[in-house]
Amino acid sequence: MELFTIRGGKPLSGIIPISGSKNAALPIIAATVLNSGITRLYNVPMIQDVLNLCEILRLWGSRITVDQSAHAVTIDNSKLVIQINETIFGLVRKLRGSILLVGSILAKFGSLTIPLPGGDIIGARPLDVHFDGFQSLGAEINQTGETVTLSVPKGLTGSSMVLKEPSVTATENLIMAAAGAKGETTIKLAAIEPHVQDLCHFLEKFGVGFDGIGTHWITILGKDFSSWSQDIEYTIIPDSDEAMNLSALVAATRSEVDLRGIRPEYCEAGINKLQEIGVNVSLVETSMIFRKPTSGYRA
């Protein structure tokens, strides 16, 4: 059991670079399945969930190079073959985010069998939003015990769907499936978080058409990925959640800190709110600059 001892009472100081977004990295790594070529990703957070997802792909035949010091991952899926064994079952059960692989695998290969993360039952939240959407695109789904088989014998076909709730992972999964569907797909009540938008921008590099990125009504124009292969480079967005959590810490300790490498459009609302209560913070290009407040904070 890990133990953290915190001795407070001192202000912070220095420069803190913001990490790449974990919530963007996982679906983007899953989406690389669509590409039989080489995908190079930058600003990748080197956390265990990311490494576990890479390990699942490696066990399926992907050639993956992880450069932890450069926060870069290179994925070559030219030899990718989807096979299920006990080792992969164990990794999938451990990593709930592995459900994000379903959409891209259906779009690329047309079928797969996976264990349900955490033993979820179809029809019980939260995975029913995913499966309802896959069925809307033409998938057939069969559950046996704690495994589920999905197949698209007639291929994925674009459709219009309304999600039961704006689930982030369901939106991302269905975007990846729709990317490989014939025709146009409309997802209503879609999630709009920055990492959902980043996935869409990544798939635009693959030639997928989008309308409504960043809104609750997304339209996707799919394409055939069955033999698609390109060399792609992409930089994952910085983690706005990390930036705002650190902002709260810096403000609470009345510290002088520079947060470097943010995306202003995803942090401006939080910055405005901090300034409203009297926090001495300014936005300079891609940095949040905190200085000691000149007076007390306002409620």
Q: pLDDT at residue 147 above 50? A: yes
Q: Are strands 232-235 and 256-260 parallel, antiparallel or unpaired?
A: unpaired
Residues 283 and 198 in one domain: no
Residues 63 and 208 in one domain: yes
Domain that holds residue 279: 13-17+238-290
Last residue of a domain, one of 214, 235, 256: 235
Q: Does some domain include residue 297?
A: no
Rounded to whole angstroms, the Cα distance separating 212 from 220 reads 9
Residues 255 and 176 in one domain: no
**Overall domain count for the chain:** 2
In the chain, DSSP finds a helix count (H) and a strand count (E) of 9, 15
Residues 67-79 have pLDDT tens digits of 999 999 999 999 9
Residues 142 and 275 in one domain: no
Whole-prediction pTM value? 0.91
pLDDT of residue 115: 80
Q: Does some domain include residue 26?
A: yes
What is the number of residues in the chain? 299
Residues 151-178 have pLDDT tens digits of 999 999 999 999 999 999 999 999 999 9
pLDDT mean across residues, the chain? 92
Q: Does some domain include residue 6?
A: no
CATH classification at residue 73: 3.65.10.10
Residues 43 and 190 in one domain: yes
Residues 98 and 219 in one domain: yes
Residues 207 and 97 in one domain: yes
Q: Does some domain include residue 3?
A: no
Residues 106-137 have pLDDT tens digits of 999 999 988 876 544 444 446 899 999 999 99
What are the angstrom distances between the C-alpha of 68 and each of 3, 48, 81, 120, 171? 25, 12, 26, 33, 29
Residues 155 and 270 in one domain: no
Residues 197-254 have pLDDT tens digits of 999 999 999 999 999 999 999 999 999 999 999 999 999 999 999 999 999 999 999 9
Residues 179-195 have pLDDT tens digits of 999 999 999 999 999 99
Residues 181 and 50 in one domain: yes
Rounded to whole angstroms, the Cα distance separating 261 from 263 reads 7
pLDDT of residue 126: 62
Residues 256 and 173 in one domain: no
